[in-house]
Amino acid sequence: MSPAARRSPRRAARRPSPSRLRLTHFGAAGWSITDGRTVVLLDPYLSRIRFQGRPYGPAEAPAVAGDRRPALGMDDVPVSDTRTIDERIGEAHFVLLSHSHFNHCMDVPYIARRTGATVIGSESTANVARLGGVPEAQILTVRGGEDYALGAVSIRVIPSLHSALSGKHYFQSGTTRRDGPPLHLSEYLEGGTLAYLIRIGGRALLAFGSMNYVEREVEGLRPDVVLVAAAAPRREIHDDTGRLLRALGRPPVVVATHWDVQGLPYGAPQDEALKEADTFVTEVRAVSPRSRVLVPRHFETVTV
Ligand SMILES: [Zn+2]
């Protein structure tokens, strides 16, 4: 129940009671969100390719015992792990993309073709979908600022920013091409970064897919749940966690996303990344001690 509803029983009585939401984490910035009726996927990247090369990856691919996957460089063409996707993703109605780097976007064509879900994202994201054979009718291109009614859910698109990688030297312009041969890793361009306020089952969930945001674009939003990208590049941002949670009125539920090392396969130890996530949890507790804060592991489902 929202604080407003608690104060006003009459108002609460008029509202349909909010649903429980089930949030399943796929690693990276990937999620399935459902109220039991509509399934919304966020940045669903399940292929977890072993990659190396700047600016997104380490100079050497991460190695873990038993991992026999070839290390891909930025000039290689990645292939989706359709077996893992089929095991983990059933039906889906919407696929929302924060941006179109490969570790967010490369599995979108396969997922959208298989599920028939509507893809929502930037022009770059739309082009990744087009190039991957997703029908035009299934693609909604957005710029930030839209607030779309989509049947049982509505989705407000929030202008946002990419992580300040490489010690703030990160910058990438351009738009991913829409036709031609399959994309190399380096051709999945950011294409601008978006966040989403998803109203589903009587609840509002705000989702980020990169370690940055535009404060004035989120100021005054009052989500029930916020997914905050929590890996180390957030330290490049002034008072990253504090400014965000204050701007949002200290949401009741704060969930860490994008906390893991994505070049490692599912099941590999993520000890270092989890240690970093613990520092995020400490930051949340400092600014918003009454929030429930969660760091879901791969394929863990949390109910909020
Ligand atoms: Zn990125």
CA of 99 to the centre of ligand 1 (A): 7
CA of 172 to the centre of ligand 1 (A): 10
pLDDT of residue 70: 86
- Taking residues 249-263, report their average pLDDT: 97
CA of 8 to the centre of ligand 1 (A): 43
CA of 279 to the centre of ligand 1 (A): 22
pLDDT tens digits along 149-162: 999 999 999 999 99
Residues 6+ apart with CB under 8 A from 80: 46, 47, 106, 107, 109, 110
pLDDT of residue 233: 95
pLDDT of residue 105: 98
pLDDT of residue 24: 98
CA of 250 to the centre of ligand 1 (A): 26
> Could you give the CA distance from residue 291 to residue 25 in angstroms, rounded to a whole number?
19
pLDDT of residue 1: 47
| pLDDT, averaged across the chain | 93
Token match 């089930």: residue?
22
CA of 214 to the centre of ligand 1 (A): 16
CA of 192 to the centre of ligand 1 (A): 9
pLDDT of residue 180: 96
Cα–Cα distances in Å, from 132 out to 6, 24, 27, 190, 234?
48, 25, 22, 17, 32
CA of 211 to the centre of ligand 1 (A): 9
CA of 191 to the centre of ligand 1 (A): 10
Least reliable range by pLDDT among 103-107, 111-115, 263-267? 263-267
- Taking residues 211-240, report their average pLDDT: 97
> Could you give the CA distance from residue 283 to residue 235 in angstroms, rounded to a whole number?
11
> Could you give the CA distance from residue 28 to residue 45 in angstroms, rounded to a whole number?
7
One-letter amino acid identity for 142? V
CA of 212 to the centre of ligand 1 (A): 11
Residue 13 has pLDDT above 60, yes or no: no
Count the Cβ atoms, other than its own, within 10 Å of residue 238. Answer: 8
> Could you give the CA distance from residue 49 to residue 52 in angstroms, rounded to a whole number?
10
Residue 222 has pLDDT above 70, yes or no: yes
pLDDT of residue 66: 83
Residue 4 has pLDDT above 70, yes or no: no
CA of 162 to the centre of ligand 1 (A): 6
CA of 37 to the centre of ligand 1 (A): 30
> Could you give the CA distance from residue 296 to residue 289 in angstroms, rounded to a whole number?
19
Residue 131 has pLDDT above 60, yes or no: yes
pLDDT of residue 55: 62
- Taking residues 180-191, report their average pLDDT: 97
CA of 156 to the centre of ligand 1 (A): 21
> Could you give the CA distance from residue 114 to residue 119 in angstroms, rounded to a whole number?
12
pLDDT of residue 27: 98
The percentage of residues in the chain with a pLDDT greater than 70, rounded to a whole number, is 93
- Taking residues 253-272, report their average pLDDT: 95
Angle at 212 between CA 48 and CA 241, to 5 degrees: 105
CA of 225 to the centre of ligand 1 (A): 22
- The 10 Å CB-count burial string (b at 16+, else e) for 86-107 is eebbeebbbbbbbbbbbbbbbb
3-class secondary structure, 8:
coil
CA of 80 to the centre of ligand 1 (A): 18
DSSP assigned state of 148: E
CA of 4 to the centre of ligand 1 (A): 37
pLDDT tens digits along 28-72: 999 999 999 999 999 999 999 998 876 666 667 777 888 888 889
Q: Report every protein residue that has its C-beta within 5 angstroms of ion ligand 1.
A: 101
CA of 285 to the centre of ligand 1 (A): 27
Least reliable range by pLDDT among 58-62, 88-92, 123-127, 221-225? 58-62
Nearest Cα neighbor of 76 from 107, 52, 105, 48 is 52
pLDDT tens digits along 62-106: 778 888 888 899 999 999 999 999 999 999 999 999 999 999 999
